[in-house]
Chain A
Amino acid sequence: DAGITQSPRHKVTETGTPVTLRCHQTENHRYMYWYRQDPGHGLRLIHYSYGVKDTDKGEVSDGYSVSRSKTEDFLLTLESATSSQTSVYFCAISDGQGGYTFGSGTRLTVV
């Protein structure tokens, strides 16, 4: 019942390289979100989208950019990866009526 998928599931990258994470949904939901989850901080919102080409910043947006050219895809780019961006990244979708549905997550390690 994977209405939302994230890719890749795991990635190791070097400091200073750009990285793009992909979130794909088949639910036709308007809202899409990128979160990162770190011990002691819980889930923190990076960026979100409320429609095609409509995006806004969350609480921890520095060093990240997003794009949404189609309803089903929401891309998160780390422009120049740093070790502090080592984290688990979750994409989520919402139809605006209730809670979120999360993707399975991407474990990113920046070495």
Chain B
Amino acid sequence: RKEVEQDPGPFNVPEGATVAFNCTYSNSASQSFFWYRQDCRKEPKLLMSVYSSGNEDGRFTAQLNRASQYISLLIRDSKLSDSATYLCVVNYNFNKFYFGSGTKLNVKP
């Protein structure tokens, strides 16, 4: 079983739509959680950390549900520039991070 699992998508949404991704993790001792964004043929870049109380950064909201062992990312008012692959990342083992395979988002005009 993979440490971190994501729906690979693609999610095809129109501009202005709200879209949500979920990610599940297997280890209940997981300590920290992140969402990364990866553009085609580029390196992953940190989008936001995910805190237990939930957190928001502009149009992006991240939530953590420890009881069900999943994290979510909500994107409101989608822009064409949001098209990318979103990687869920979990850490529970001495600064080693486990990556999901990513969810691809296509925002269309």
- A and B co-occur in one complex: yes
Interface residues, chain A, CB within 8 Å of chain B?
31, 33, 35, 40-45, 48, 50, 58, 90, 94, 96, 98-105
Contact yes or no, A48 B43, CB < 8 A:
no
Closest to B99 in A: A43
- Per-residue CB contact flags for chain B residues 68-109 toward chain A (1 = under 8 Å, else 0) read 000000000000000000010100001111011110000000
Interface residues, chain B, CB within 8 Å of chain A?
32, 34, 36, 42-46, 49, 87, 89, 94-97, 99-102
Distance between Cα atoms of A102 and B89 in the complex (Å): 14
Distance between Cα atoms of A33 and B91 in the complex (Å): 14
Given A42-B102, A90-B43, A105-B43: A100 touches B87 (CB 8 Å cut-off)? no
Q: Other than the known A42-B102, A99-B36, what 10 A-B pairs have Cβ atoms closer than 8 Å?
A: A31-B95, A41-B101, A42-B87, A98-B32, A98-B46, A98-B49, A99-B89, A101-B46, A102-B44, A105-B42
Contact yes or no, B95 A50, CB < 8 A:
yes
Distance between Cα atoms of A100 and B90 in the complex (Å): 12
Distance between Cα atoms of A104 and B32 in the complex (Å): 24
Contact yes or no, A104 B43, CB < 8 A:
yes
Distance between Cα atoms of A35 and B87 in the complex (Å): 14
Closest to A94 in B: B95
Contact yes or no, B100 A104, CB < 8 A:
no
Contact yes or no, A102 B101, CB < 8 A:
no
Q: Chain A residues near B36 (CB, 8 Å)?
A: 99
Closest to A88 in B: B41
Contact yes or no, B99 A102, CB < 8 A:
no
Distance between Cα atoms of A43 and B43 in the complex (Å): 11
How near does chain A come to B89, taking the closest CB pair, in angstroms?
7
Contact yes or no, A40 B49, CB < 8 A:
no
Q: Chain B residues near A101 (CB, 8 Å)?
A: 46
How near does chain A come to B90, taking the closest CB pair, in angstroms?
11
Q: Chain A residues near B102 (CB, 8 Å)?
A: 42
Distance between Cα atoms of A82 and B83 in the complex (Å): 34
